[in-house]
Amino acid sequence: MAKDDGVTIIVMSGDMDKVMAALNIAIGAAAAGKETNMFFTFWGIKAIQKGNPTGKGFYGKMMGLMNRGGINTIGPSRFNFGGIGRWMFKQMMKQHKITPLEELRQTAIDLGVKFWPCEMSMQVMEIDVDNLIDEVEKSCGVATMLEMAFHSKVTLFI
């Protein structure tokens, strides 16, 4: 891979459509042979969770109740209506043969996209590394993420 011309994507959103956009861009970049790093922070952490509710402490549990983890449970940024938006979006995606989130994520992994969990977010949301999918890199902070960004051609905040 060439140097300093990769892609860094900061995924803060936990919305299904935005995570889908982020993964699609990452896959496109990796397919074009670029070094591609995704930094998952705040709600974005959902996209790399195993599916079990987050949080061990009191606040973490409340957060988990409102925010039950796993890439299959997240809804779009608009028109969620208690899950109907997600259902409809999935129906439309299925009807048009659009790859579901979990498969997109696997494709990204297969293409060598690196997934970095934000350390501070894991701490605040009381998420353990055991709650994350096995393919994630070591959790890191803003400094490490910025180091990647400084060596990228394109950095996006999603």
Q: Is 92 in the site for a second copy (CB under 8 A)?
A: yes
Angle between helix axes 16-31 and 84-95 (nearest 10 degrees) is: 40
Q: Which of 1, 52, 91, 137 binds a second copy (CB under 8 A)?
A: 91
Is 112 one of the binding residues for a second copy (CB under 8 A)?
no
Question: Quick check: 18 binds a second copy (CB under 8 A)?
Answer: yes
In this structure, what are the phi and psi dihedrals at residue 80, rounded to the nearest 5 degrees? -80, -40
* Maximum Cα interatomic distance, the chain, rounded to a whole number of Å: 46
Residue 10: phi and psi, rounded to 5, are -90, 115
CA distance 98 to 96: 6
Q: In the complex with a second copy, which residue's Cβ is closer, 58 or 134?
A: 58
Query: Judged by CB under 8 A, how many residues of this single chain contact a second copy?
Result: 56
CA separation, residue 23 to residues 26, 28, 31, 60, 63 (Å): 5, 8, 12, 26, 24
- Residue 2 touches a second copy, criterion: CB under 8 A: no
Binding test (CB under 8 A) with a second copy, winner from 35, 37, 41, 133:
41
Q: Report yes or no: 55 and 125 within 8 Å, Cβ to Cβ.
A: yes
138 in contact with a second copy (CB under 8 A): no
| Residues contributing to the site for a second copy (CB under 8 A) | 5, 7, 10, 12, 14, 17-18, 21, 24-25, 27-29, 31-32, 34, 41-43, 57, 59-60, 62-63, 66-67, 77-79, 88, 91-93, 95-96, 98, 120, 123-126, 141-143, 145-147, 149-150, 152-158
